[in-house]
Amino acid sequence: MRTLFATIDRFATRQPFVIARGTKTDVEVVRVELRQGEILGRGEGTPIYYLGDHALAALAALGQVQAEVEAGATRADLLDLLPAGAARNALDSALWDLEAKASGVRVWQRLGLPQPRPMLTAYTISLGDPATMESEARRVSGRELLKLKLGGEGDLDRVAAVRRVAPHARLIADANQSWTGLDIEALCHGLHALGVELIEQPLPAGADSDLAHLRSPVPLAADESLHDRTSLDSVVGRYRMINVKLDKAGGLTEALALIHAAGQRGLGVMVGCMLSTSLAVAPAFFAAMHAAYADLDGPLLLARDRACPLAFSGSDVHPPEPALWG
C-alpha cells in the first residue's frame, strides 16, 4: 500500500529574476512524496503561472487523485487522471523515483540510456538594460552557454552589450513572446550577426501563424506555444525546435514521448526548466540527454537548494545522485 503526501515549498531567488512578463523574487513549488513500505519516492513541480496554474490548485488536484494513486495508479494512468502541469509532473517524478528505488535500477538504466556524464547547461541572464546585462555577463563570463532574456525594443543593444564582455560564449536568446509589432526578420538577422544560435518564442502563443513564412538565419524554438504532444502539430512549419519542460508536459513520461514525436516531425529539442530546485531538475537531466540544448540552471537561480543537490561545475550540471532522485 502506498501513501501520498504533498505540500508547498517556497524558495527565494538569488536575485530578482526578470523576464518580459515580469519579475520574480521567489517561487512556490509542489513537493510530492510517495511512500511504499520503507521506500520513499519524491518529485517536484513548479506551477506555470501564465497558464493559470498555481500551487494551491496543484495541491488540490493531487488530493483529488490521492485514492487512485495510493491504490496503485501507474505513470501511464496519470496521463488520464491529471492534466499536464505541475501536479502531474511532481507525481510522475515521484513514481519514477519510487520505481527506481524499489527495483534497485537507476532511471537512466530503465530508459536504456548510456552512463550519464556532466552536461553543458545554459546559464540565464535576466532581462535588463544593456549595462545591467553586460555587468551580469561579465560576472559569469567564463560560462560557455548564456541564455539572454529579451524584451522587445532595444534587444540588439542588450545582446551586443553581453557579446562585448563574453566574446567567446555561445548565446541563445529568449524573447518570451515580446516581439509583437517589431520587424522580427530584421531582429533575427541582427542577432545572427552577434552569434546568437537559437531564439525562443518571439511572438505570443496563438500568433505563431505569423512565423510561417519568416526567413530567419537563426532557428526559432517554441516554448509557450508548445506544452505536450497535443500542441505539437501546431508548431510544425513555424518553428525548427521546441523547448520541452517537464512542468508543461506534465512529467518525464510525457516529456520523453513528446521528444520522440518531435524527432519524427524533424524538430530539434531543447530541454528547459522553470525556477525550481534540484529535485525538479533531476528528471529533466535524463530528458536532456536526448536534446541539442539543456537549460537546467533553475537551482543556480535560487538562494538555497534541496539537500543532496545537483552538482554544478564550470558550465556543466552533473547527473543526480541516488540520494536526490532516480
Q: Which residues are catalytic?
A: 149, 245
Measured CA to CA, the distance from residue 277 to residue 275 in angstroms comes to 7
CB 161 within 8 A of CB 136: no
Output the DSSP codes for 276-294: --HHHHHHHHHHHTT-SEE
Question: What are the helix (H) ranges across the chain?
Answer: 55-64, 66-70, 75-81, 86-103, 107-110, 130-139, 155-165, 184-193, 246-249, 252-264, 278-288
Measured CA to CA, the distance from residue 262 to residue 106 in angstroms comes to 26
Handedness of CA 130, 131, 134, 140 (dihedral sign): negative
CB atoms within 10 A of CB 223: 24
Cell numbers for 260, please give them.
520522440
